[in-house]
Structure 1
């Protein structure tokens, strides 16, 4: 099942590329168009585009994960609505392998997308200061865990969607939530009424943790909050998907 999903991704790369363009375009937009202004507003000093690049890259890496897993929701929905699932149910395979193949394939695509966006960031001048080998390993582990969590949620969204268009629309919060987090500006710079929306959601603790690991500024309490969010989303997505997938087709 994993091989099947990877072959589909290779034969139809336009979906992954379209979803991947969003964080890349935002990276270019905020670095070269808004970089000087945003850095001056955040730091309160002279404009420093490289400092703002270092600030937004962790958030855009997690946004890349959110945008990439939308392809998983669409792929799962296609399997459920195009008749192939009926054939799978008659074959001598473990039923759970269908979902596991989608999840593992989705995580692999997310990691490859993160590597690509990270390479673009490095080409633009991003440098990790103060991060050691353990920090890099922890950052990579967080990205994989976050990818796993969002992929399971995307699988559930794909299972409950009546068609591919609805699956893409249902998964749009996975792109919108990073825009309402600390990706582009610190929480302290937001209006008071908006701070709880940005702070009490899964992306902000993960962004702050990744930022602390890559920039050597420390993670504080955000580390365990990010892990707790990831575990909770994995459990929720798994049981939601298993329950929906286990229902007999009408």
Structure 2
């Protein structure tokens, strides 16, 4: 008698270090068809219905594109380390911001910050991450490149630290999101994968130290002291705030 074929779930996964605890134990599951990309393309695929679920931009939640299917997330309070704004001048002197084309949430947060500061700034996409920064220009950079910034700079601002200073709120950068009424077996698969990581963080650290060019103490600090992976009440407060700001500032596309 033939074994029934297990359904494959098409999941959007982030390859950044910050997402590793959420995706590490999913990468080799036979039930998973992994689609690896950055937040913006994954959000677009999710919007088009090409994925069953994705760990992707909080912007998708704020813009009401998809439903949150788990309280697993990528969040921080006070600093994030891998979502930064680089410049050769002070915040007050910034006139142009080059946004990261891979990002949605971080670009939106940058616009929220300058709106709160009542500072008129021109926003444009980054064309080349490694080119020197023009005068009075800042550049948003998300992801692992922040461990080894590709451009020279004099000032760097951690976006989560700026949000904390302005609003005393944490930041939620990504969430597990999918269609409303998503298969309960899929949610269980996602939860179990993270539970396996929680049972053996040392195994995750060893994998990260092998695959990422980041000093081991920095990896452990990042996971132990910077990030958290379950939504808190304050995180939910941030998401409500973020959703309102995204709509108030006309950032929905």
TM-score (norm 1): 0.25
Which one has more relative contact order, counting CA pairs under 8 Å at least 6 apart?
2
TM-score (norm 2): 0.25
